[in-house]
Structure 1
Amino acid sequence: MTPEDTRPTPVILVLGADYRDAMVDVLTQRYSVDYEIIAPSTMEETIEVLTDLRTGSRPVALAACEFFAEGEKATHLLAKFQKFMPSARRLVYVPVDRFRGSVAQLRESLAEGRLDLYLMLPQGARDEEFHTAISETLSDWAQSASYSEIDGTRIIADGPSPDLARIRDFLDRMGLPNTVHAPDSPAGVAALAAAGPDATLPLLQAPHDDYLLSNPSNADLGAVLYGRPADIGEEAICDLVIVGAGPAGLGAAVYAASEGLDTLIIDQGPIGGQAGTSSMIRNYLGFPRGISGMRLAQRARSQAVRFGARFLAGQEVTALRVGDGPDGCHVVELGGSSVRGRTVLIATGVDYRRLGVEPLEDLVGRGVNYGAAASTSREVKNKDVFVVGGGNSAGQAAVHLSRFARHVTILVRREGLGATMSSYLIREIEGNPRITVRPRTVVTDGGGEGHLEWLTLRDVDSGAEERVDAAGLYLLIGAEPTCQWLPPVVARDDLGFVLAGADTPWQSWQGGRPPEPYATTVPGIYVAGDIRCGSMKRVASASGEGAGVVPLVHAFLAPDAG
């Protein structure tokens, strides 16, 4: 039996008057097997229920409140509940006769982050649109709160470490449920006995299997899922090799594979890239309730696989030999292995810039994290955490962490967030009482006994320093291009971003004309997404650029090309 087997049943809380019973009936028919539906009918009972839930012994997955025609607004009630059940998703349900008059107010509340969704009360049986919204919301809660009942991959570890953080991040972003067990737990004792005396922690045990991995690298983890480069075959020549499996690479993979191109996608980490760490992307076309970066990457990956694309995860590209293969194909080197492609797409994106404070670098994986590190959310429950960065990723991380931490402070060197963050995120942050923005502030020091405990913050203008308690530091700063493996013949700007189209040096133009958009200085090599010089640095634009490369690949591969 795993620790998850003893977890209490999560709660769906229903509040209302005129339509409370109707909402309870609808939810009971679908969700009563997995959730306890509680619907107090009097104010005294409501106070009693809320007092009980406030202890946290039973997690609240969803709080659904009726849109009252008179009296206190439902959004105000939900805002009060947020203080003691912040991880719960907040829903306002609206009867049809009140819907028109509620829309303007509810839209404003959504924009300010005071609720997660509003829905019209179903008017008949099998309202699948209603239930799709509820199911997606409950799924999002379970995933973000790490509240899974699945006995997935077991990780045996003796405490926080950089390797444990890396492994959990890889598994989480690949959508693989996992639980951590101490070496002296029943699961830990059994796994260590099976692994033998030479096992190194963290130790992984695949679900329902005796398959064990001792402190696996990302390449080891990726090989379990997708195989190794040697599995592609030494004689194979792909039509398109995509380096980087973020939105740009996935966008290209879906369109290329769907149009019959032999497509291979390689990434040094899990599928999804930097966007895969985003807890909730709300401005991506077609997802009005938002979608996590992990789920977006999963869906794109499934699409690409359906069309025949192949993946290599956890495999670091070390070099590119231009036109060095048979028939002038390009050779992508991966350490001691290589794969070949008639065309190559560079879609490696960017990495977060290192903070450069040595005592904090020593605590990476022990409270200090580069990126959102959603797997650490529950570890900072009721503690103070800090997010460094002013972009959308930092804003999304802060909103997500506010569901768990006592308080989240965003540190930015600029005067504020307006120049670098989307308006919808700024409004949500401003309306969240658990988040504070501290401008013109940098981190200069920090430490702790085996785990982050404190930080030193410096005011950029006055130079004054302050020591603060901190259980978590999330660094989402800057953009470092990740294409050091490219040869000089692929032109880059002074910062290392790849040049394409009219931005390429005029000396490389053919017949006085620049290359096509997304085409680099080398025929058959393309670039898309954040790694491209001048890119928009947004998920939607990156996936669009990736798709836009595919017609250029077709034209290059055409028999009469050139």
Structure 2
Amino acid sequence: MKPNELEKQTTAIILVAGPDAIGRLVDSVSRRYSAEYTVRSFGTKASALVGMADIIGGGGDIALIGADPDLPDGHGLDLLAKAHRLVPTARRVLMLSDWANQFDDRIRNASSDGQLDAYLGVPRGTRDEEFHAAVSEILSEWAWTSQAVTVDGLQIVSNVDTPELARIIDVLQRMGMPYRRYMQDSEVGEEIIEQTGTDDPRFPLFRTFLGDVLQDPSIADIGALMYGRIEHLDADHVADLLIVGAGPAGLAAAVYGASEGLGTVVVESEAIGGQAGTSSMIRNYLGFPRGVTGMRLAQRARIQATRFGTRFFAGTAACDLVPGHDGAPHTVRMEDGAVLRARSVVVATGAQYRRLMVDPIEERVGAGVHYGAATSVARETSGRDVYVVGGGNSAGQAAIHLARFARTVTIVIRRPDLTSTMSEYLIREINGTGNITVRPGTEVVDGCGEGRLEGITLRDRESGAVEEVDCSALMLLLGADPCTDWLTDSICIADDGFVLTGREVPQEKWVDGLPPESLATNIPGIFAVGDIRKGSMKRVAAATGEGAAVVPLVHAHLGA
């Protein structure tokens, strides 16, 4: 094969750099992945960089770069740092042929600062499944977030970007549902248009896995494709446990409730996973040393809960909660008119991002402006200037992910710095990413563009000076307001909108001088967990813990 022929292949490339001793690694990787990846190996840092440049120049797609620390002409970390500037989307793995290297402070610092996706020991046997499980996980995350779509799931036909279409695509991305978009004059587009049987179809069109065509569907229609509709339940169905909201807290309650034998139903207004499902990479969640995307975490939790018998319904929001009395079940009414009844209810609707309330920005939501991380549009920012507004962990994760694609990423915050609102590990990673900058003491006050966002106006909060800057995408992660507007007035809610539980409930609502249990509201059988609860810690692990902890309280209530 001639040198340039490889780069013309459509398969993605795994690039490995190391001394002669790393040959067994190359052999192991080649045997396992050569059917779908092309494995290239180099003996030195210099040759690896030259080979990488040739691959990029030939239009090749590099998925993973593995380097031994002990290269003849430099440290493997130096190669990975330069490789990251050449191919920001490629995953970086340090391959340790000598495990003594794991105690190297430089390697440990690089790992904690987010400059590595993993460091792994070189396989020493014919089947090192721990090694291959790690590599497969890394490649899977790369393929989902960085590679152009190669598999049709849903087929979408539309020439026009609209806020509604952007919202549906974001939900599809968060649910891990593959999709591909086609223009109306494409071969597939024309075929789907003809299938509607009308000369004036309502766009966008969606062709489902079964071949049916939906015209201008809602998120509820998309949710029904995956999970069915609430009316499919028996008319007299009464759940033991109804969970409203499928973020980490709601999913944990579903897993532990269903596994303990409770008939469990979960309803979610958008995508299973909630706000956490938008996270491009959660690195500090227990048990995931290489991190996990919010989508993957939610997907695994949903599958786990389903295996225990949980029923999920997505795409329609709860609009009313009517408490039951004298042993009668509680009733939750949905926006689409469906009604659910349950002996206990866990409220886990979390919080939603605050609106910026700048008219030119609000008018372009879905057209360059996005509330949340919007990982579904990250690939579209390639070579462009992007702004992220917000100083929390979600904003940091979004900025780091976008930096793999965008020319520049600017984090805009009102505070003097990030230290009071963002985890240190994210701040270190941001500081180590060359194309991310932070604009402290700044706010967005205007936006412009013909249809789509093209620029924004920034104002210095101290001096009042304004600056107009180019901006092709604006991600707004401004802090959160609790989703409690649907709750009955009989549930105690704090002035800031969060649900009161346990000792936070006013004493006049206590029974026999005793406060409700820690996660219980003032109404027996109704509980609140996660970000919606007053005093909760706004972290994924904390929400998961509350979701698990509420189940014994539910059992106690049902057994009373």
Which TM-score applies when normalising by structure 2? 0.96
Q: Identity over aligned residues, as a percent?
A: 50
Give the match for residue 241 of structure 1.
242
Tell me, yes or no, if the aligned pair for 2:44 and 2:71 is still in contact at 8 Å. Answer: no
Shift of 1:50: 2.3
Q: After the TM superposition, which segments of 4 or more aligned residues of structure 1 sit over 4 Å from their partners?
A: 41-45
Counterpart code for 2:452? H
After superposition, what is the alpha-carbon deviation per residue over 1:184-211, rounded to whole angstroms, capped at 9, x for unaligned? 111111111101334211111113x321
Q: 1:82 pairs with 81, 84, 107, which one?
A: 84
Counterpart code for 2:86? F
Tell me, yes or no, if the aligned pair for 1:20 and 1:39 is still in contact at 8 Å. Answer: no
Q: 1:12 pairs with 3, 11, 14, which one?
A: 14
Equivalent positions of 1:122-271 (< 5 A) are 122-195=123-196, 196-207=198-209, 209-271=210-272
Give the match for residue 110 of structure 1.
111
Tell me, yes or no, if the aligned pair for 1:322 and 1:329 is still in contact at 8 Å. Answer: yes
Q: 1:509 to 1:46 in 2, by over 3 A?
A: closer
Indicate yes or no: 2:332 matched with 1:332: yes
Counterpart code for 1:152? G
Tell me, yes or no, if the aligned pair for 2:17 and 2:44 is still in contact at 8 Å. Answer: no
Shift of 1:37: 1.0
CA distance in 1, matches of 2:34, 2:48: 20
Tell me, yes or no, if the aligned pair for 1:234 and 1:339 is still in contact at 8 Å. Answer: no
Tell me, yes or no, if the aligned pair for 1:446 and 1:454 is still in contact at 8 Å. Answer: yes
Q: 1:270 to 1:126 in 2, by over 3 A?
A: same
Shift of 1:420: 0.8
Counterpart code for 2:291? G
Give the match for residue 405 of structure 1.
406
Give the match for residue 300 of structure 2.
299
Give the match for residue 493 of structure 2.
492
CA distance in 2, matches of 1:310, 1:44: 55
Tell me, yes or no, if the aligned pair for 1:153 and 1:179 is still in contact at 8 Å. Answer: yes
Indicate yes or no: 2:97 matched with 1:63: no
CA distance in 1, matches of 2:495, 2:334: 26
CA distance in 2, matches of 1:169, 1:275: 13
Give the match for residue 4 of structure 2.
none
Instruction: For residue 39 of structure 1, give the secondary structure of its aligned residue in structure 2.
Output: strand
Counterpart code for 1:332? V
* Structure 1 unpaired stretches of 5+: 1-5
Instruction: For residue 222 of structure 1, give the secondary structure of its aligned residue in structure 2.
Output: helix
Instruction: For residue 99 of structure 1, give the secondary structure of its aligned residue in structure 2.
Output: helix
Instruction: For residue 83 of structure 1, give the secondary structure of its aligned residue in structure 2.
Output: helix
After superposition, what is the alpha-carbon deviation per residue over 1:446-478, rounded to whole angstroms, capped at 9, x for unaligned? 111121111101111111111111111000011
Shift of 1:168: 0.9
Shift of 1:9: 1.2
Indicate yes or no: 2:439 matched with 1:438: yes
Counterpart code for 2:281? M
Give the match for residue 549 of structure 1.
550
Which TM-score applies when normalising by structure 1? 0.95
Counterpart code for 1:556? H
After superposition, what is the alpha-carbon deviation per residue over 1:464-520, rounded to whole angstroms, capped at 9, x for unaligned? 111111111000011111111111110010111000000001110011111000100
Shift of 1:417: 0.8
Tell me, yes or no, if the aligned pair for 2:45 and 2:76 is still in contact at 8 Å. Answer: no
Question: For this pair of structures, how many residues does the alignment match?
Answer: 551
Counterpart code for 1:106? I
CA distance in 2, matches of 1:78, 1:100: 16
Instruction: For residue 253 of structure 2, give the secondary structure of its aligned residue in structure 1.
Output: helix
Counterpart code for 1:276? G
Which is further off, 342-351 or 36-45?
A: 36-45
Shift of 1:51: 2.2
Q: 1:25 pairs with 27, 34, 46, which one?
A: 27
CA distance in 2, matches of 1:489, 1:548: 24
Shift of 1:56: 7.0
Tell me, yes or no, if the aligned pair for 1:238 and 1:264 is still in contact at 8 Å. Answer: yes
Tell me, yes or no, if the aligned pair for 1:384 and 1:408 is still in contact at 8 Å. Answer: yes
Counterpart code for 1:118? Y
CA distance in 2, matches of 1:100, 1:425: 22
Shift of 1:413: 0.4
Give the match for residue 372 of structure 1.
373
Tell me, yes or no, if the aligned pair for 1:243 and 1:266 is still in contact at 8 Å. Answer: yes
Shift of 1:99: 3.1
Counterpart code for 2:280? S
Equivalent positions of 1:447-458 (< 5 A) are 447-458=448-459
Shift of 1:214: 1.1
Tell me, yes or no, if the aligned pair for 1:99 and 1:120 is still in contact at 8 Å. Answer: no
Counterpart code for 1:448? G
CA distance in 1, matches of 2:59, 2:160: 24
CA distance in 2, matches of 1:42, 1:264: 56
CA distance in 2, matches of 1:134, 1:354: 40
CA distance in 1, matches of 2:102, 2:314: 49
Instruction: For residue 328 of structure 1, give the secondary structure of its aligned residue in structure 2.
Output: coil
CA distance in 2, matches of 1:544, 1:113: 26
Tell me, yes or no, if the aligned pair for 1:229 and 1:337 is still in contact at 8 Å. Answer: yes
Which is further off, 448-457 or 142-151?
A: 142-151
Tell me, yes or no, if the aligned pair for 1:146 and 1:375 is still in contact at 8 Å. Answer: no
Shift of 1:57: 1.3
CA distance in 1, matches of 2:118, 2:346: 38
Give the match for residue 510 of structure 1.
511
Give the match for residue 73 of structure 1.
75
Shift of 1:113: 2.0
After superposition, what is the alpha-carbon deviation per residue over 1:168-189, rounded to whole angstroms, capped at 9, x for unaligned? 1111111111111111111111
Tell me, yes or no, if the aligned pair for 1:360 and 1:446 is still in contact at 8 Å. Answer: yes
Instruction: For residue 450 of structure 2, give the secondary structure of its aligned residue in structure 1.
Output: coil
Q: 1:530 to 1:47 in 2, by over 3 A?
A: closer
Tell me, yes or no, if the aligned pair for 1:372 and 1:394 is still in contact at 8 Å. Answer: yes
Tell me, yes or no, if the aligned pair for 1:385 and 1:472 is still in contact at 8 Å. Answer: yes
Counterpart code for 2:418? L
Give the match for residue 93 of structure 2.
91
Shift of 1:439: 0.7
CA distance in 1, matches of 2:102, 2:393: 32
Counterpart code for 1:189? E
Give the match for residue 347 of structure 2.
346
CA distance in 2, matches of 1:201, 1:486: 35
Shift of 1:71: 4.7
CA distance in 2, matches of 1:436, 1:152: 37
CA distance in 1, matches of 2:38, 2:494: 57
Shift of 1:374: 0.7
Shift of 1:55: 3.2
Instruction: For residue 343 of structure 2, give the secondary structure of its aligned residue in structure 1.
Output: strand
Q: 1:472 to 1:557 in 2, by over 3 A?
A: same
Instruction: For residue 165 of structure 1, give the secondary structure of its aligned residue in structure 2.
Output: helix
CA distance in 1, matches of 2:9, 2:200: 34
Give the match for residue 471 of structure 1.
472
CA distance in 2, matches of 1:347, 1:137: 31
Q: 1:193 to 1:534 in 2, by over 3 A?
A: same
Q: 1:474 to 1:521 in 2, by over 3 A?
A: same
After superposition, what is the alpha-carbon deviation per residue over 1:193-246, rounded to whole angstroms, capped at 9, x for unaligned? 101334211111113x32111121111111111111211222111111100000
